[in-house]
Amino acid sequence: MPESSAPDRGFRSLLEVEQILTHITWLVTCDWEMRCIPSGAVAIDGQDIVGVGTTNQILSIFRGRETIALPGFMVLPGLVNTHTHAAMSCFRGLGDDLPLGRWLHEVIFPAEAAIVCEEMVYWGTLLSAVEMLKNGITTFCDGYFFEEAAARAALDAGSRAVLGQGILDFPTPDQPDPARNRERAIQFLKQFPSGSGRIRPSLFCHAPYTCGPRTLQWAKALCREHGILLQIHVSETAREVEDLVRTSGETPVFILERLGLMDPWTLCAHCVWVTHEEIEILASRGAGVSHNVESNMKLASGVAPVPRMLEAGIRLGIGTDGCACNNDLDLFSEMDKAAKLHKLIQLDPVVCPAPQMLRMATCGGASITGWEHQTGSIEVGKKADLIAVDLDRPHLTPLYDPISHIVYAVKGSDVRHVWVDGRKVVWNGEMQTIDEERIMAEVQRLVRGRKRSGQRQC
Ligand SMILES: [Zn+2]
């Protein structure tokens, strides 16, 4: 069905579909033209978008078993968070404002040693999934431990997710013997819950300074064998780059390039300290990069050269990172910060314009996480991952340009309704899939136990 077929009343009956969203004040498609349609409408059948156009066009083609009128709303594709460690919501606000080394060694590592287990990963990931869905993030790309539990949480919450099993050449909470980390990765891939198109497995090598060449190579080989994404932190801090150059003679991107890891199925998180040559390698190999601006600001890691990366044609998305170093999961805020920070650093208000930031948070993110045919834009044939933003707010009045509002004025809390795969997962700001109160209580219980005993809780 063409996206804007002319009305043909009288010659054929209307096609019946499951849902039609009509009278949307602004339908922001994030398609290749970045079309914004006033009085827009979307027809949804099952999990799929089957019609996109004006309300008049859609009502002349389709009849919905359910019709939802959305005047006063802006509808856009669900946002894609390209880098997070969802279970780390359990450490939100723990040890703020410390130097990175002290924060990691004195706060985060002991906290992880005390409570990271399958149960914590399940409840912590659920808490993050709820926060993300309510903030309009329908897809997230995760990396942590016990990722089978994270996968169950994403399924239960109703999110779309790529779940990356963490790999290090050091003892980890779910593999104390690093000599057996390959076995653990294989076991994860075998046990990954199947039967849903909403979740995909991935491997997450922590970084080139915590995973040696052999580990990086077998992990990438496993990813290629299974057709899945390899995630890795790359050049987050100047210190890690200096240390690697001192010990191996090469920077992280050159190491990954030499080992044959750079391709479109490798997602590099951060890339703050990358040279012009490294940018060329990332661009020519088609590797994805996640820009995590708030995490980089809070940990004072540095400023990624995003304008240069965009110019070079690198495939870019936006990530929140774990909310232990952020401390929330709100991509509207990340888009706003990214646009403003790069303007400030470059002393140029023209760089990182709003449409470019929105692309990164939607179709750009979908592309680098491997979901470009399913999500990231509102187009016929894609899955119905949609969010409806309430425009009837003082800080969103008046409205001249919907994309400007999305990047510079909308907050996650303005999201009222969320669909994933055509299913309503948030309605009127309330979760429809799971008991939010119970999740918060379970996380409080896990964290209280840690505080009381300082011992492992599970
Ligand atoms: Zn990270």
CA 344 to CA 338: how far, in whole Å?
10
Q: Report how far ligand 1's centroid is from the alpha carbon of 147 (Å).
A: 15
The topology under which CATH files domain 15-77+378-431 is Urease, subunit C; domain 1 (2.30.40)
Q: Report how far ligand 1's centroid is from the alpha carbon of 83 (Å).
A: 6
Q: What is the pLDDT of residue 452?
A: 56
Q: Report how far ligand 1's centroid is from the alpha carbon of 58 (Å).
A: 42
Give the β-pairing of 199-205 and 160-167.
parallel
Residues 6+ apart with CB under 8 A from 375: 77, 78, 80, 138, 139, 160, 366, 382, 383, 385
User: Residues spanned by CATH 3.20.20.140 within the chain?
Assistant: 79-368
Q: Report how far ligand 1's centroid is from the alpha carbon of 435 (Å).
A: 28
Q: Report how far ligand 1's centroid is from the alpha carbon of 29 (Å).
A: 29
- What pairs with residue 390 in β-bridges? 73
Q: What is the pLDDT of residue 457?
A: 42
User: Residues spanned by CATH 2.30.40.10 within the chain?
Assistant: 15-77+378-431
Say which residue the tokens 């993300």 belong to.
Answer: 132
Q: Report how far ligand 1's centroid is from the alpha carbon of 323 (Å).
A: 10
Summary count for the chain: helices (H), strands (E): 17, 17
20: left (phi over 0), alpha (psi -120 to 50) or beta: beta
Residues 6+ apart with CB under 8 A from 332: 79, 135, 136, 406, 407, 410, 411, 412, 414
Q: What is the pLDDT of residue 451?
A: 57
Q: Report how far ligand 1's centroid is from the alpha carbon of 85 (Å).
A: 6
Residues 6+ apart with CB under 8 A from 7: 56, 57, 60, 61
378: left (phi over 0), alpha (psi -120 to 50) or beta: beta
Please give the chain's pLDDT, 458 residues, in tens.
444 444 444 456 999 999 999 999 999 999 999 999 999 999 999 999 999 999 999 999 999 999 999 999 999 999 999 999 999 999 999 989 988 778 888 998 888 888 899 999 999 999 999 999 999 999 999 999 999 999 999 999 999 999 999 999 999 999 999 999 999 999 999 999 877 899 999 999 999 999 999 999 999 999 999 999 999 999 999 999 999 999 999 999 999 999 999 999 999 999 999 999 999 999 999 999 999 999 999 999 999 999 999 999 999 999 999 999 889 999 999 999 999 999 999 999 999 999 999 999 999 999 999 999 999 999 999 999 999 999 999 999 999 999 999 999 999 999 999 999 999 999 999 999 999 999 999 999 998 876 555 444 44
Would you give the DSSP letter of residue 426?
E
Model-level pTM? 0.95
CA 323 to CA 108: how far, in whole Å?
12
Architecture of domain 79-368: Alpha-Beta Barrel (3.20)
Stretch (H or E) spanning 243: helix 238-248
Q: What is the pLDDT of residue 450?
A: 65
